Structure 1
């Protein structure tokens, strides 16, 4: 998900001094007026990290990048973002969101900056939620969520399998960050593309494989992946589709794939 981030990071570097100056006006009254919560205060750069944090049991989570912004590295942080970081115990970010550590440093925060492996594959979700639960001291809540996640995942995988045509797994082409969707659906992946623009040769090769579906990445829109074909393209999301609830990613993905197979 590294597209277009270079220019944004450069602009952020230029405006860093202004952000540092601006945050003083927002935090100058001190922390005494800030509400006290039990458990850690977590700042997440996007709703994706926030979803992992809440799955792990964090109940006080602030998101920096508004959900309306599809590609998080495009966001230009504001002084109010620094104010949020100044009150954080943990700042969660992904490596492709390089502005996250700059936010923490600019705010002078003592928060622990934690890189989250943003991969929605089942094994990674279990690993990351357990790791964050241990870190936050909320492992009991994390384990409870993981029980719900495991049951929901199995249910949705079965739902998709029941929609397989002639009892055969769908043959798909998947954007490189849509592996979790292929895994949950039991799809046969004929090829992958991205994160860069699809070349003419890739279009020819992927089309020749004769997939039934394309699993496209909504956050990294490249238009029609296989133009000139009748292959149905599904725009799927890695980010929560409602609030910071990671389960909505799987619900929405299963709904779209099942409907496409039945249709």
Structure 2
């Protein structure tokens, strides 16, 4: 799980007048320019209005999309591989100011800045980013309730259950010798071990593996190491004979969460086939 950081100082350095104009929608009455008061988070889904959702990364964005949100703005572009290098633009702050909901994760160090930039209109929602299927479904259902899109969230969950079951069965069919493989997992890739029905014999991270951990984990004789592609420090257990699989947590720019599971399943199958 990448500990992305975004320098919001450049946003907050905007003039007070500019910031005030963005937050109030450039209207002296706090409206949207047509004399009408802007919808609040509490009324966003009423009257058929689709909620406007701003998210910090594509991961929150995928959760929002799964929950039924259609108007989703991601602050950190997918093309930015090292988020601290990204300088948010005034348009990012404008998007936050116009949002009904702003989604962020507690581990993101710039969450406080998001809160400052959001203004009084948006409802701030902390999201538990974990691709464990039970946690994903719980978050999607919760967001669907907040957005007023519960039916869409339930529909997505049904599709997710079907696809997850298919992928899990497919991976398990590839167990070497028909036996559950022993794996060592990075703490934020445990969900992929669950998908594979693997036997977790040890975990590591988010800090780099120490020499003592290296010896302890290697002694477990794992067949696979499930590394976090977003926090990788190279080969985790060199000379152990374990195959390392890079697990990606973040969805692509299409904000579709299902390919994350498909890609993990494909990587696991390939690794097990060579075991």
Distance 1:95 1:19, change over 3 A: farther
Question: 1:85 & 1:169 partners in 2: Cα distance?
Answer: 46
Question: 1:242 & 1:82 partners in 2: Cα distance?
Answer: 20
Matched residue, 2:108: 97
User: What is the aligned counterpart of 2:164 among 153, 157, 160?
Assistant: 153
1:177 aligns with 2:188: yes
Q: Does the Cα contact within 8 Å between 1:71 and 1:220 map onto a contact in 2? A: no
**Cα shift at 1:222:** 1.2
User: What is the aligned counterpart of 2:140 among 120, 124, 129?
Assistant: 129
Matched residue, 2:149: 138
Matched residue, 2:13: 18
**Cα shift at 1:25:** 9.8
Name which of structure 1's ranges 236-245 and 55-64 shifts more when overlaid on structure 2.
236-245
Q: Does the Cα contact within 8 Å between 1:87 and 1:109 map onto a contact in 2? A: no
Deviation readout 1:65-98 (Å, 9 max, x if unpaired): 1113346577543322111101100000000113
Deviation readout 1:102-132 (Å, 9 max, x if unpaired): 2242352410000000011111111111000
Question: 1:66 & 1:199 partners in 2: Cα distance?
Answer: 33
SS class of match (2:141): helix
1:81 aligns with 2:87: no
Matched residue, 2:125: 114
**Cα shift at 1:204:** 1.1
Per the normalisation by structure 1, the TM-score is 0.88
Matched residue, 2:41: none
Q: Does the Cα contact within 8 Å between 1:19 and 1:82 map onto a contact in 2? A: no
Distance 1:107 1:52, change over 3 A: closer
Per the normalisation by structure 2, the TM-score is 0.85
Distance 1:74 1:143, change over 3 A: farther
**Cα shift at 1:235:** 0.7
Distance 1:221 1:68, change over 3 A: farther
Question: 1:98 & 1:20 partners in 2: Cα distance?
Answer: 23
Q: Does the Cα contact within 8 Å between 1:45 and 1:92 map onto a contact in 2? A: yes
Distance 1:195 1:243, change over 3 A: same
**Cα shift at 1:133:** 0.4
Q: Number of residue pairs matched?
A: 257
Name which of structure 1's ranges 124-133 and 233-242 shifts more when overlaid on structure 2.
233-242
Give unpaired runs (5+ residues) of structure 1.
none
Matched residue, 1:256: 267
Question: Higher Cα Rg: structure 1 or 2?
Answer: 2
Matched residue, 1:237: 248
SS class of match (1:219): coil
Q: Does the Cα contact within 8 Å between 2:185 and 2:203 map onto a contact in 1? A: yes
CA RMSD of aligned residues (A): 2.6
